[in-house]
A = this chain, B = another copy of it.
Amino acid sequence: MDFSSFLTSLGTSFVIFVVLMILFGLLSSRPGNNVVYYPNRILKGLDPLEGGYKTRNPFSWIKEAMSSSERDVIAMSGVDTAVYFVFLGTVLSILVLSGVIVLPLLLPLSVTDKGSKGQTTSKGTFNELDKLSMAHITEKSPRLWAFVVACYWVSLVSFFLLWKAYKHVSLLRSEALRSPDVKPQQFAIVVRDIPPVPQGQTRKEQVDSYFKAIYPEAFYRSMIVTDNKQVNKIWEELEGYKKKLARAEAVYEGSKTTAKPEGTRPSNKTGFLGLIGKKVDSIEYYNEKINELVAKLESEQKITLREKQQNAALVFFSSRVVAASAAQSLHAQMVDTWSVFDAPEPRQILWSNLKIKFFQRELRQYLVYFIVALTIFFYMIPITFVSAFTTLDNLVKILPFIKPIVRIKVLRTVLEAYLPQLALIIFLALLPKLLLFLSKFEGIPTESHAVRAASGKYFYFTVLNVFIGVTIGGTLFRAFKTIQKNTSELVPMLASSLPGNATFFLTYVALKFFVGYGLELSRIVPLIIFHLKKKFLCKTEAELKEAWAPGDLGYGTRVPGDMLIVTIVFCYSVIAPLIIPFGALYFGLGWLILRNQALKVYVPSYESNGRMWPHIHNRVLASLILYQITMLGYFGVKKFFYTALLIPLPILSLVFGFVCAKKFYPAFERPALEVAAHALKEVPNMELIFRSFIPPSLSSEKIDDDQFEDALSHVSRTSHV
């Protein structure tokens, strides 16, 4: 890639960004689009636009985002979102603080050096940027001392700010957990691996007597987990028919025009997709179906509660401290029985995972690790090819028939600028679903944990495949015909191939922030989809609401993407310091735009009180260590005599990580009692707490308290007596 294609790439990205910004300014001020641009505020019952329509200008959202406090974010979008902003803010601060010293220190040194002939950042075609990078420094030059200082500076700034961030998040978490509001999950624990029911007892009696013996005063009640597959299916079918009925009624109402006041009763066919079969009156047919299913649901509910009990339960305590203590204490002498966990929010329990047994969970975990490792390994091959082929020169060499296309100058430039990056981005978009599925397969009991686990796997994937894959892959391909022998020296090879890929990553970062965040802010795609649905599909209020439901911030996939940028920017921060402002721009823009989205658009689908932070912290630290090791290798390549001076850095990072893990981590893993011991603002209504954990498919209005209780307590006795 030469200088002009680099500028073209930057320029096009920027133009797209500006266009999207203008679109956002225009579209977001139209009241008809409020449900797309302010759904979070609408769902919270707030006025979509704070200041009213008059005072607004297209840039007022910037002011609003800048002036919003962490409290506002927590109030509108929860602690998890606030923690995500701590991450963005911390990385931004690291980059700004690093850049302030590193840029003025290193750039003049690089430019004024006589220059080494051997290495360039762009294979010789891109001299303007070459001069700004460490590759331009002569081997063994005393100027390398400044680069050593820069390495230390970046690391120390990172340590300092990461420490502050961890402390801050720990505080946020403890504040959320000590809140005087009654949160049902703070009064419950999840019990798994319950041993087989002893003769003559029901499952419920077994659980109750076990916990009553240990917590004679604080034990409130237990809820046995059941296999809800069947009942869920019926319930979903029922809900589907209810929606269809509402829709048919709306259609019927709509057809009552003044010309035809009696309207047309809608009809449908009963066969496959409503295309074949007998034609029936829709409203009657759906009503019939609903009545049928309600009866079916009721009997299935009873069967489920009686006969489909499993080896897991939720246990409720009347005290928050006792529940917190119970969730982390060893209950049974044999650890593969009666294992306990703190209860998550009801909405994020993965019910079907609760029954999986202790050693099966372990086994599944290792199996999944193995599959993920395989995936990472086999994805490496295509990505390596992509990065090697997608320089146009290579493509032309291998596929000569595309030459005519490439001859068109403009097309060539655009292709050259975007092709590799686009290939990469599309590649990465395929994976998260698979990883989330695999993580759930491990037997993880909560949605947030599964997302965290998937995100962790995705991080390994991106760093290993994209960063190391592209960097070494490009080198390998070039080196393939010439050297072919020293493939074993990974660190020096990675280090020496870094500068050659600097421009690739510069454009990658720029593409991500201009186009990615532009699309994010303008919400063009959801807007179009919403308007299409509204026009052609939606007939009822509920359907309309569903059409603009914004979803959540989705930081499970966002974080690994950001992490890749963190890794890239860290690794190039000293080699090609020009990447620092790009990185800062990425995180700065990200902070600003996502702040707007968090406050106005996305609605969190669960709350884990910042449980994500240790995960993020460790990965930032891992990037830092990768950077430090790479630098060690690169100084070696530069034949700098005092390279060993950099050895303390990775060791320091490990010690730092160790201290953080010891000091802060346990409070993220299990609830601290001093936090749980804070006073509540009201006496908890245990009945409500208990009911909040009943899955919707089991909580019918017709089954009242006593029946639920009754059903729960009389089960499985029949099978034993």
Interfacial residues, chain A to chain B (CB-CB below 8 A): 170-171, 173-174, 210, 213-215, 217, 321, 324-326, 328-336, 338, 358-359, 362, 659, 662-667, 670-675, 677
Contacts and interface: CB of A to CB of B under 8 A. Distances in A.
Contacts of A324: 329
A666 B662 CA distance: 19
B662 A333 contact: no
Contacts of A362: 662
Given A213-B674, A338-B674, 15 more contacts: A214-B673, A217-B217, A324-B329, A325-B325, A329-B670, A329-B673, A330-B672, A330-B673, A331-B673, A334-B663, A334-B664, A335-B666, A335-B667, A336-B662, A362-B662
A675 B325 CA distance: 16
A667 B333 contact: yes
A329 to B, nearest CB: 5
A214 B321 contact: yes
Contact of A674 (B217, B332, B663, B666): B332
B336 A666 contact: no
B330 A670 contact: yes
A331 B672 contact: yes
7 contacts: A174-B333, A325-B326, A335-B663, A335-B666, A336-B662, A359-B662, A362-B662
A664 B335 CA distance: 6
B659 A330 contact: no
A187 to B, nearest CB: 16
Which residue, A659, A663, A667, A674, has most C-beta atoms of chain B within 10 A? A674
Given A358-B662, A359-B659, A662-B358, A210 B674 contact: yes
A508 to B, nearest CB: 39
Point out which of A328, A330, A362 has the most chain B C-beta atoms below 10 A from its C-beta. Answer: A330
B330 A662 contact: no
Contact of A672 (B210, B215, B333): B333
B328 A672 contact: no
Interface centre among A170, A171, A331, by most B CB within 10 Å?
Answer: A331
A326 B328 CA distance: 10
Contacts of A358: 662
B325 A329 contact: yes
A579 B133 CA distance: 68
A672 B325 contact: no
Contacts of A332: 667, 672, 674
A673 B333 CA distance: 8
B214 A334 contact: no
A362 B655 CA distance: 11
B170 A674 contact: no
Given A326-B325, A662-B358, A333 B170 contact: yes
Given A329-B325, A329-B329, A329-B673, A667 B334 contact: yes
A136 to B, nearest CB: 42
A335 B338 CA distance: 26
Nearest to A665: B335
A662 B329 contact: no
A448 B561 CA distance: 50
Contact of A330 (B170, B215, B217, B666): B666
A680 to B, nearest CB: 13
A670 B665 CA distance: 20
Contacts of A674: 210, 213-214, 331-333, 338
A335 B329 CA distance: 17
Contacts of A677: 213-214
A143 B385 CA distance: 51
Most buried by B among A324, A358, A662, A673: A673
Nearest to A329: B325
A270 to B, nearest CB: 54
A673 B335 CA distance: 12
Given A335-B663, A335-B664, A359-B659, A330 B214 contact: no
Nearest to A170: B333
A675 B336 contact: no
A148 to B, nearest CB: 27
Contacts of A673: 214, 329-331
In the A-B complex, the 9 residue pairs with the closest CB atoms? A174-B333, A214-B677, A325-B329, A333-B667, A333-B672, A335-B666, A331-B673, A213-B677, A330-B672
Contacts of A663: 334-336
Contacts of A659: 359
A632 to B, nearest CB: 23
A321 B673 CA distance: 16
A292 to B, nearest CB: 47
A622 B673 CA distance: 38
Nearest to A217: B217
A288 to B, nearest CB: 53
A166 to B, nearest CB: 10
A338 B338 CA distance: 28
A583 to B, nearest CB: 31
A170 B334 contact: yes
A336 B171 CA distance: 15
With most chain B CB atoms within 10 A of its CB, the pick from A215, A333, A677 is A333
Nearest to A178: B333
- Which residue of A215, A326, A334, A666 has the most chain B CB atoms within 10 A of its CB atom? A334
A520 to B, nearest CB: 34
A671 to B, nearest CB: 7
Given A359-B659, A662-B358, A675 B333 contact: yes
Contacts of A675: 333
Contacts of A325: 325-326, 329
Contact of A662 (B215, B335, B670): B335
Contacts of A329: 324-325, 328-329, 670, 673
Contacts of A321: 214-215
A362 to B, nearest CB: 7
A672 B359 CA distance: 19
Contacts of A671: 330
A209 to B, nearest CB: 11
A675 to B, nearest CB: 6
Nearest to A338: B674
A137 to B, nearest CB: 38
Contacts of A338: 674
A672 B339 CA distance: 11
A203 B677 CA distance: 20
Contacts of A334: 170, 663-664, 667
